[in-house]
Every structure is written in structure tokens, then in C-alpha cells.
Chains A and B, each alone.
Chain A
């Protein structure tokens, strides 16, 4: 088997080497009778085909369009075990001539990957009837059977075609498998004709890049089975999907029949049989309004790239359908934009992939809109429905609504052309209504007015008065403390002076007399004891009417205390006598304050 594979690797022939994209138009007959159906085929071919838009048959009085169809096929070549492919899309139009004479099928435009291609016009001779039109001779090179193909070869090498279901709903995926069966060694293999699907949109989900055979027994004979291709077909209309035969050109090696026979090679055309799959129409019961033919299982969303912007800014809105099914052929629902939104552009994009044997993908439509007024706008929910063939039921999906807040614009300066003229208003009208809103203010139409609305000012005045009253009370309390202290000052001084007799020594006794004098003066003058300066205090006592000799007596007593403190031991004054004198002075001061 390895030898067989090596043969294949080195000896496969080239069928296609299409580098460029070609777009051609052809008809099945160039002469026909009036009323005959002519098949016009527009073929788009290329190694890689990006998005292709189906060409439109131009409206003309000469031709009447009766129907359209399309098919996709792929030609492959295998070199060194690697497969390169060339894709072909046929757009088929069934047209009927409307008059006799030489009628021209006009040029048609095809968009391939954003680039425009045009077909050439074709002239068809239309006869009025009677004489049978001359048909071109049938049987070109492709129609000829290979001369060297033996009769029994078809039993040795053939293509099997099978589908995963006998019938399917319109739009439901049908998986079709192509397998090459061979009893002979394969030396060379190439496509002669890819299978064509009628009434279906097809997606290739598997294409062999290396041939990996397995051994099977058919009718008691052993065959090598090579999976060649698997295709997903999505029926377009109720009726039948027809799979036309696939043809592969195979060079095979016959085994030697005797010692002197080295075997021989032969070219065999392997064919598949045509296959027909029934297509059921979708049930009418429960079909939602706005159903656009989506079949499979999908999710759906409507999104904005932001929810706040300014007047004149661009906003992106995306409608997205994702899931498994006929994603290519579905029509996306269109959102309803507020009237103040200008819709500038719409871009549709399809991405497809294969999961298992299921075609999955996403189809998106991106809108660019620009709001022209400020306010709050609502893009209402959008509905999308599809038919689920498994449950045989329709499913209706609804997106969320989108709330957009548009703020004032940043101001755009527009430079006009030279020679511009002033705009003259030719009419006047009211401004348009305010936009939709999620919430509105609820309440009564009443406004704060009159002096009653100023209720807070009396409260504030009361607060001020309260604080002022507190301040007054606090000050009064401070004064009371001083008054009490002053009234008790002489008693306190007497208590201190009586301690002189119990003092341990003269120094302690002098200190007690000193403290008694200053604490008495501080209390009488309403100041702190530590802050008393005798000269200042003497002046204040004089003001209060204290006799001068009393003040001088106190001054002498203080001088004596000072001098005795620093005198040697034994030279102290008589502290008891001094304390008695001080008591007399303080009593005089107390009496003077009592009188005032």
C-alpha cells in the first residue's frame, strides 16, 4: 500500500493551475426557437475565491428571466501528497427570448472580493419556428470515453456517494460523502469533473489532502476505500437536491498475468452515480412573522459600541447571528433607528467554520449611524426567528433594546465653496418632539414660592440666637468663678499664714507667707497667681482704693522675705511677726474690696 501511495505522490497529473480569477459567461445554445428556455451560466473561477456577490441578470425587453440556480465545485490536484484546489461557482439563469432575431445577452457585473469583473455580451439567434435550430455537435474531449478503458474497469474502480439523510427540510444541512473504491493499485489520480449540486448552496467540510485507505468488502470482493470529499449542502427550494456524478481520472497498474508479463498501466475514469435527496418545505404552522429562512440553531444579539456620545459622532450598531445552520443564506433583521439618526453605512460579514461535520458560523451586519440631535434615544428590540429541524419547531429570539444618550456636539466648522450664498428660510415650523425615555419625573406641578418657601431662614436665625445665648452663659459662668475665688481669698490666705507656726524651718515659713500674698492678690484681681507682677498689681490695688501704706507694707514684707531667703542661717527675720503684719495688710485690702 505504501508503494501505491508513493506512486500517487510522484505521478499525479495537473488539471488546473488557475492563479487568477476568471469570470466568463456561456449559453447552452446559440440558436433557438422563440419560447425555448436558454441556460445562461456565469462561471467564476479562481484558486481562492473571497466573497462573491451573485450577478444580477439585467432587466431587458428581449429576455424574460424564469429562474436562477447556483452551484459550487472544486477542482483539486495532488502533488507530493499535498492537494491544491481551484474553486468554481456557476450562477445559472434560465431565460426565454421575447422576440426573434439576433438578441444580445448583455454584459453582467460580478463583485469578487470587492473587485468588479464583467462578462462579455453573447449574441443568440432566435428563430420564429419551423426549422429546427442547428445544435452544436455533441461530444467534446470531456465527453469522450477513454479509449483504453476496459469494460470491467468500472467494477474495479468507482466512486461511492452517500448522504446522511434521505430527505431534509429546505435550508437544513445534508452531509454528502464521496469515497473512491479500487481493487487495483492506483498510480495517478486527478479530478476530471467535480460533483455538481443542483438546488443547494454547498460548503466543503472535508477534502482529502492525503489518501488514507481502509479495506472494505463489497459483493464478496475486497476494495481499498479512499474518503475523497465531504460536502454540506443546504437546499434552496422544496423539491429535490440533485448531486451530479463526480468523475476522477485514475491511472491504475494491472498485476502481471505471467512471468513474461510486466503488468500494464491503464487510465480509468471512475464515476459516482447521481444522487437525489428529497427537500421538504418548511411547515406553515407556527411560522413567525418576519421569518427569513434561517434553519438550524442560532443565537442572536444587537449591540452598540457605546451608549454615550455627542451629536455628530459616529456610532456602531452590530446585528449578529451565530450558530449552526444555513448561515450563508440567512437574511439579518434590520434595527429601527430613531428619526434623528442618519444611517451611513452597512457592512455584512460572514465567517464560517466546521465543527464535527456541522457548518457553524457568524453573520454580522455593522451599521454606522450619526445622531443629529441630543437627548436620550431608544433603539427598540429586534426579533429574529429560525426553524430548528431537530425539534421541528420555530424559535423566536429577541434582542435587548439599546439606550443611547447623545450629548451636545463639539461644533463642526464647515467650509463652503467659493461664491456661497446666505441661506434663506422659506418656511418655519416647531421643533420635533423630545425622544423616547426610560423614565420620566413623577410629581405635582407645584413650585416653591412665596415667603413660606423661605422656612429655613427663621430656623437659621434661631440657631444663631441659641449659639449667642450659650456664649453669654459661658462668659457669666467664668465671671462667677472669679467672684467666688475673690470672696474666699482672705480666708485662704489666713489658712496659709497660720501654717507658719507649724513650719519646720524659717525658709518654709517664708515660702508660705510669699504664696499667701500672691495667691490673695491673684484671686482679688481675677488673674492667675503665676501671672502676678507686684508693681502692676500694686497699681491696680491703688485704683481699687487700697491705702498706700498697706501696699508699701506688703512691699516691705516681700523685700524681707527675699533678703531672709538668701541670708545665712540664724539671721532670718521673725517670721511669726512678719506673718501677723501680712495678715493685717491683707485684711485691710479685703475690707477695701468689700466696701467697693
Chain B
């Protein structure tokens, strides 16, 4: 491909991205206006249309959470607040609304790690965003590599390289823990008023316990349209995959399109 063709393709891509951003913002702003007018159904429809067009912004997810909250859908509100928190983990508004919505849920679940150092560590790691953590790890490893190469060529600065590599190893270990935790990327929220949790992935499985709208679970396994879920207090069991929604959904736009179609 010639340089000219590459340039044209590049500018077309930039234009398409910019156009998509503007379209998403237009639906978002329409949603805001409807929300301000008290038309929460209309606001939600506009916000979801923005997501369908590819919108992936903490502001948009936060406002969807608010619209669901105003419509009395606490579980859905928590789900979208959690999605907003993934993108902006330290936004005080998101944390406040998330905590407020959680305080209204029926199930009060106490973590088995509550009060322990492990809980403090988990909380700390959870508060660091994936993207930020990844970027720090990248910078650290580049510095350690540079120091090592310098040592090989000049035969000096050995300890700088060693210390930097120790940091890289510690951070990489933390990264592994964060990635492996089911409470990071495999969390899901109950989005129906009441769910019976069963001992096996069938309707005939023994009823173990019941959870309600807005409860946060971790998905450990997926089989035949059923999720094996785990609660923070250690309880686990099987639920149909339609009653909970994963916070990190890669096919979010398709899911939302389907939801809008159903409406």
C-alpha cells in the first residue's frame, strides 16, 4: 500500500472515530436533558443508545446507573455504577452512589475476610485501576531493562538494575493476584428481584439459599447456561445466567442492543 493510501486510511479512521464520539455524546446529552425533565425512561433509552453506538465512558455508565436508580431498578443501577467504577475507580460520585444503592439492597452479606489484613490488601489492590497498574508495570520493566543493558555494556550500575527487577517482580506478582481474583473481572450483579441458588445447574437442583436484586456475586464457572456463583461470605451455588449480569461484558454493545430490542 502506498504512503498516500495509508494516509487516506488513517484520516478516514480518525474521522470515523471522531464522528462516533460526537454521535455518542449527542445521545448522552439528549439523555441528560430527559433526565433533568424527569423523563427517566426516555433518558435511559438515549443513554443505552449511546452504549449501543460504542460509548464506553464512566460518565455515561454513571448516568445510566442514576436513570435505573430513579426507575427503581437497584440491581441494574449497581451494575452500571460498578462498570463506571472500573473506568474511574476513584471518582467520589461513583463510589457514593454505588454505596448508597448497595445500602438499599435486601441481602446483607459479610465478607469472610472482613477485618483481616487480607481484606485490606484486597481492597487496596482493587482500588488500583487495571490500566494504571499495567502502565506502572510497563514503565518499571522498561527502566529495569534499560539499567540491565547499561550494566552489560558499561559494567556499572548493577545494583540499580537488581533493585528495579525486584520491584518488577513484586508488581507482577500483585498483577497476577489482581487478575486471578474472581472479584475483579468475573463479578456479576443480580438484576432480578429474587433468585434461588441451587446445588446443581438444573431447575431440579436442591435449593441452597435465595439472593435478591443488587447482590454482588463472583462467577467461578459457566455451564449449560448456568453460572456457578460465589458470595463474599463464602456461600456458592448455581443460578441461570439470565438472572445476573457480568460487570465486565466484552459484548456490551450487543447486549444493550438486545435489551433495547426487547423494550
Contacts and interface: CB of A to CB of B under 8 A. Distances in A.
Given A444-B250, A445-B56, A430 B148 contact: no
Nearest to A434: B59
Interface stretch (A27-35, A464-472, A484-492): A464-472
Given A433-B32, A451-B179, A456-B138, A444 B56 contact: yes
- Most chain B CB inside 10 Å of its own CB: which residue of A433, A435, A444, A463: A433
Contacts of B66: 430-433
Contact of B145 (A443, A454, A464): A464
B28 interface: yes
A434 B62 CA distance: 7
B35 A442 contact: no
Q: Chain B interface: which size bin?
A: 35 or more
Contacts of A428: 100
Nearest to B101: A430
A454 B57 contact: no
Nearest to A339: B36
A3 interface: no
Interface in A422-480: 428-451, 453-454, 456-457, 460, 463-464, 467-468, 471
Nearest to B69: A430
Interface string A311-348: 00000000000000000000000000001000000000
Contact of A464 (B21, B63, B131, B149): B149
Interface residues of A, number: 36
A439 B54 CA distance: 12
A454 B172 contact: yes
A433 B131 CA distance: 25
Contact of B86 (A433, A444, A447): A447
Contacts of B55: 440-442
Contact of A442 (B21, B59, B63, B86): B21
B63 A445 contact: no
Contacts of A448: 130-131, 134
Contacts of A304: none
Given A430-B96, A430-B100, A442 B179 contact: no
A435 B29 CA distance: 8
Interface in B130-152: 130-131, 134, 137-138, 141-142, 144-145, 148-149, 152
A378 interface: yes
B142 to A, nearest CB: 7
A39 to B, nearest CB: 48
Contacts of A447: 86, 130-131, 185, 248
B22 A460 contact: no
B83 A440 contact: no
A443 B144 CA distance: 32
Given A441-B55, A444-B252, A463-B145, A449 B179 contact: yes
B25 interface: yes
Contact of B25 (A438, A444, A471): A438
A442 B62 contact: no
B25 A439 contact: yes
The interface centre, meaning the residue of B32, B53, B253 with most chain A CB atoms within 10 A of its CB, is B32
A454 B133 CA distance: 11
A460 B21 contact: no
A72 B145 CA distance: 87
A448 B185 CA distance: 10
A436 B32 contact: yes
B97 A443 contact: no
Interface of B: 17-18, 20-22, 24-25, 28-29, 32, 35-36, 50, 53-57, 59-60, 62-63, 66-67, 69, 83, 86-87, 93, 96-97, 100-101, 130-131, 134, 137-138, 141-142, 144-145, 148-149, 152-153, 168, 172, 175-176, 178-179, 184-185, 248-250, 252-253
Interface of A: 339, 378, 428-451, 453-454, 456-457, 460, 463-464, 467-468, 471
Given A433-B67, A441-B56, A444-B250, 12 more contacts: A430-B69, A431-B66, A434-B59, A434-B62, A436-B25, A438-B22, A440-B59, A441-B57, A442-B55, A449-B130, A451-B176, A460-B141
Please give me the 6 A-B residue pairs with the lowest Cβ-Cβ distance, nearest first. Answer: A434-B59, A460-B145, A447-B130, A440-B57, A439-B21, A431-B93
